[in-house]
Amino acid sequence: MSLEEKEDNIRLVVEDNGAGFAPSMPRARVGLGLGNMRDRLDLVEGRLTIQSTPRHGTRIIAEIPSRLARFDSGEQGTQVQK
């Protein structure tokens, strides 16, 4: 997992080498989680990219425009605020 701020966006990448799935599968078969992520990112003009192959793992990339977030580094760690 990685979280980084680029020039114009904040990017979260989560990947594994697990079972994977076919991204073309209907939402009901994949689960609600990815659909909810896509819907929430749409609300903030973000983007969700899913790269997955059965038996070869999954890579999920979530990006939002950096103008929508502010980093506040405090004692409890870094928090992203809208």
CATH of residue 73's domain is: 3.30.565.10
pLDDT at 70: 59
Nearest by Cα to 11 from 48, 57, 50, 54:
48
Q: What is the model's pLDDT at position 32?
A: 76
pLDDT at 22 (0 to 100): 79
Residue of 8, 7, 10, 14 whose CA lies nearest to 71: 10
Least Cα distance to 44 among 82, 3, 6 occurs for: 82
User: How many domains is the chain built from?
Assistant: 1
pLDDT at residue number 61: 95
pLDDT at 69 over 60: yes
Distance CA 49, CA 31 (A): 16
Amino acid at site 7? E
pLDDT confidence band for 71 (50 / 70 / 90)? low
CA distance 8 to 65: 6
Kindly report, residue by residue over 14-68, the tens digit of the pLDDT.
999 999 887 776 655 556 788 889 899 999 999 999 999 889 999 999 999 988 6
For 37, the domain range is 2-81
